[in-house]
Structure 1
């Protein structure tokens, strides 16, 4: 229950709503669709479907099925890798499932990951369900960019903010270094790519050191009484867990930036930009892209995150990725 422990106030509100029968019918969960927001959504669903007296137990069959995204009364949808869109037919299938009888006689839940990737038709299909929700249904819209959702959708949902997705709300320790890297894209060649990779490596080293210091300072007296080897294991485990979440936030910001470039390269309305304050720089970067190459840049960033999870040296990952992003002469 990692996400629950880290966001106790939000979780307490959900638990109270569940116990008093006052849950909203739809929630927008703002955070990382692969990190804290995803874990929170899974914990929410476990609360609904758990078979134990103390909910959620994280051990019963229902909880395990929820965690595997295989519970019969839940339906998950997310953007397809090529189009990066959630299409109307997918949302229509989710809405249809919500109107049917529950297989197990209880709740039904629909979860949309990266909900900001719904196109206009998809959003309009969802709106009809939000206006007249079936009984005992829950819709969870997980997004890192709530500003990209239609205001009419936001107004019909309860909002839970775990972490913000806009540049102005990033942690000050890594805000400017990351924004500086993004502003200097795309690399002008191999040497420029190597310099950007080194800067991103320096940023990640800063994050690792800061998180390790914070975790060590937060250890309570009982833990300090442990022998050195056990204390080291605890320190490394907590540091690794927090680092993964912060890394997910860094890549989420990088993806939001590249999605803005894709929008401008595709001549989509700039009112929906995540980084509207950086529009001039984004427009300049978009000039060096076609919609296809801008989409490829998004896929390169996604690949960076996946490769880091496989414990490939970070400088190697960054250098190879920035070389792929470099302008070809």
Structure 2
């Protein structure tokens, strides 16, 4: 069974558990904390907080708050930027919040991103809650290194393993062209914005073609008995699922870039930047921006990544976003 099948099976299990009232109180989700595992966790939480009958709808206030990590009954914690550790006091704060009354009268949830960054004290602080969880609470531990967690934590959680689905094999297709786009930011005018939008669209089209070829090769080897119509359905489903994972990586890199520019504009020291190897380009772009325009660029990239998940043509999304990013 390939990574996409694992993802689909895990999601179906979660939906069945939710609908039957048999969800576990804690899950370890193994995958990319900024990619497929994060998206899975957000979808999981939308089941709890979606306001529509058909869950998750991805449109109601509850779903949008989950996407923005701003839902009042969910607490997110992640490693501090300097120590790259999740401290015991952060875990205790999460536990205290989960033992209090829900603001909206339903589920209370906590998410620990990069849970492998918990230190020994943090993990020990978490154990008691895992042993005696409060009612109507859900804890999600997201990590790409489950082996780094205490065995006693793993044993008290349901474990969901999400394969990267071959997205890393696509890196050589998109990473260098994407960096060329980022190095040329921001667009100088509307025509330049349209050009950059076309480059990003072409980049993702090449990725999709590469994924489709890889999936077809897998199907030729493993599913020879499938009829043509079913083969087409499986090909499309697997290709789109893997493409979403690569898209998450692409937009993460774009967002990290714009955040680096914002940090430079705000006077943050260079050793806290993610793309420090591109310091010259980052500094050039920081000189163009004000703090307000740099923050707006971060928000525009965030909005672009969210809109791609909706039923809107990619080119329309990219063109509108790059025009908003163009120099004024």
Does the CA-based 8 Å contact 1:28-1:143 persist in structure 2? yes
**Residues 199-239 of structure 1, C-alpha deviation per residue, up to 9 Å, x if partnerless?**
11110110111011010001155623222111111111111
Distance 1:262 1:112, change over 3 A: farther
**Residues 160-195 of structure 1, C-alpha deviation per residue, up to 9 Å, x if partnerless?**
9977xxxx9981111110110011100111111111
What is the CA distance between 1:253 and its match in structure 2? 0.9
In the alignment, what sits opposite 1:46?
none
Distance 1:298 1:171, change over 3 A: same
Distance 1:226 1:132, change over 3 A: closer
What is the CA distance between 1:77 and its match in structure 2? 2.5
In the alignment, what sits opposite 1:5?
6
In the alignment, what sits opposite 2:315?
315
In the alignment, what sits opposite 1:234?
234
Distance 1:28 1:225, change over 3 A: closer
In the alignment, what sits opposite 2:250?
250
- Following the alignment from structure 2 to structure 1, what is the Cα–Cα distance between the partners of residues 221 and 259? 46
In the alignment, what sits opposite 2:82?
none
Distance 1:140 1:228, change over 3 A: closer
- SS of residue paired to 1:135: helix
In the alignment, what sits opposite 1:20?
none
In the alignment, what sits opposite 1:10?
none
Structure 2: gaps of 5 or more residues: 8-25, 45-55, 57-62, 67-72, 78-88, 101-107, 132-138, 152-160
In the alignment, what sits opposite 2:128?
135
Does the CA-based 8 Å contact 2:211-2:239 persist in structure 1? yes
- SS of residue paired to 1:311: coil
- SS of residue paired to 1:224: coil
- Following the alignment from structure 1 to structure 2, what is the Cα–Cα distance between the partners of residues 169 and 243? 12
Give the length in aligned residue pairs: 249
Distance 1:296 1:141, change over 3 A: farther
Tell me how large the CA RMSD over aligned residues is: 4.6
- SS of residue paired to 2:297: helix
- SS of residue paired to 1:295: helix
In the alignment, what sits opposite 1:112?
112
Does the CA-based 8 Å contact 1:32-1:248 persist in structure 2? no
Does the CA-based 8 Å contact 2:187-2:196 persist in structure 1? yes
In the alignment, what sits opposite 1:39?
40
Alignment of 1:89-104 (within 5 A): 93-97=93-97
Does the CA-based 8 Å contact 1:36-1:245 persist in structure 2? no
Distance 1:218 1:258, change over 3 A: same
In the alignment, what sits opposite 2:136?
none
**Residues 273-312 of structure 1, C-alpha deviation per residue, up to 9 Å, x if partnerless?**
1111011211111112222221211111122122222232
Distance 1:254 1:209, change over 3 A: same
- SS of residue paired to 1:185: coil
Does the CA-based 8 Å contact 2:261-2:286 persist in structure 1? yes
Runs of 4+ residues deviating >4 angstroms = 1-4, 25-30, 40-43, 89-93, 126-134, 138-144, 155-158, 160-163
In the alignment, what sits opposite 2:50?
none
Alignment of 1:174-213 (within 5 A): 174-213=174-213
Does the CA-based 8 Å contact 1:26-1:130 persist in structure 2? no
Structure 1: gaps of 5 or more residues: 7-24, 44-63, 70-74, 80-88, 101-107, 116-122, 147-154
What is the CA distance between 1:39 and its match in structure 2? 2.8
What is the CA distance between 1:259 and its match in structure 2? 1.1
In the alignment, what sits opposite 2:324?
324
